[in-house]
Amino acid sequence: MVTRRWLPALLLCGIALPAWAQDRSITLASTTSTEQSGLFGHVLPIFARDTGITVRVVALGTGQALDVGRRGDADALLVHDQAAEERFVAEGHGGPRRQVMYNDFVLVGPGTDPAHIAETHDVAAALLRIAAARAPFISRGDRSGTHAAELRLWQQAGADPVTGRGQWYREVGQGMGPALNTAAAQNAYALTDRGTWLAFRNRQDLRILVAGDTRLLNQYGVLAVSPQRHPHVKAAEAQAFIGWITGPAGQAAIAGYRIHGEQLFFPNAGSPG
């Protein structure tokens, strides 16, 4: 019977390893935006080809993905809420955090634009107009990175959407795709990451109405779950993934992913901060 102690000798002799020894994989907890945009379908097969490591993605909101990491139910995380990621690291659950890529958020809404937000490129002013008009707004309401960004933007605008909860402000508690489906069905406004928007087909009368405000930057980070907290995690494979996704091959794979000729994510692992 082949045991683990004989693996180095088998490798040196060029003998094929048993199936259990060849199984190199990690569980990656990530966001619905990276999956629903199709990015992982493009990038992860390249990673597997380059390294022999396969990746199983658990796609959740960023808050839920970080909770998965806290429980030790993932080996690595790729998420987009920097403040929450830094808390995760400070609490000793993993890290260090490394930035990977960015895109942006956009405010979408019906072509009729009842709140007249298309007249401004200022996202805070646009949200104030939506609140003043009591125009339907769909929130993910799921503790995702997009939801956290939306709440920060409302706060920066000086508006409290909770006062309209259940009336014009509606939380669906689901991912970006279902939230956009609801917005399309109800002719409502919504905040979405551009990647999911470009991959989204059921737009009906929805269109991008506000974009380009620097406050709409959407930065993604990657970090490993702590093997000190969770000795069972696949630390070596997780670090291999992080090194690859932030290295030349991974960054090129991210840059190469396009829909209808438009780039969805922009690699910036080498950029400061």
Question: Pick from 178, 200, 216: which residue ends a domain?
Answer: 216
Please tell me whether residue 113 adopts helix, strand or coil conformation: coil
Q: The domain containing residue 145 runs over which residues?
A: 103-216
| 273 domain-assigned | no
Q: What is the CATH number of the domain that holds 126?
A: 3.40.190.10
The answer to whether residues 107 and 201 belong to one domain is yes
Alpha helices in the chain (DSSP H): 7-13, 19-22, 32-36, 39-51, 62-71, 82-90, 123-133, 145-157, 176-186, 194-199, 235-245, 248-255
The answer to whether residues 206 and 243 belong to one domain is no
- Please tell me the pTM assigned to this model: 0.83
pLDDT in 10s for each residue of the chain, 273 residues:
443 344 444 444 555 545 444 569 999 999 988 988 999 999 999 999 999 999 999 999 899 999 999 999 999 999 999 999 999 999 999 999 999 999 999 999 999 999 999 988 899 999 999 999 999 999 999 989 999 999 999 999 999 998 888 899 999 999 899 999 999 999 999 999 998 998 898 999 999 999 999 999 999 999 999 999 999 999 999 999 999 999 999 999 999 999 989 999 999 998 765
| 188 domain-assigned | yes
| 240 domain-assigned | yes
Return d(Cα 191, Cα 106) in angstroms, integer: 6
CB of 233 closer than 8 Å to CB of 70: no
Asked if the peptide bond before residue 96 counts as cis, ω within 30 degrees of 0, the response is yes
CB atoms within 10 A of CB 177: 19
| 109 domain-assigned | yes
Over its C-alpha atoms, the chain yields an Rg (Å, rounded) of: 21
| 55 domain-assigned | yes
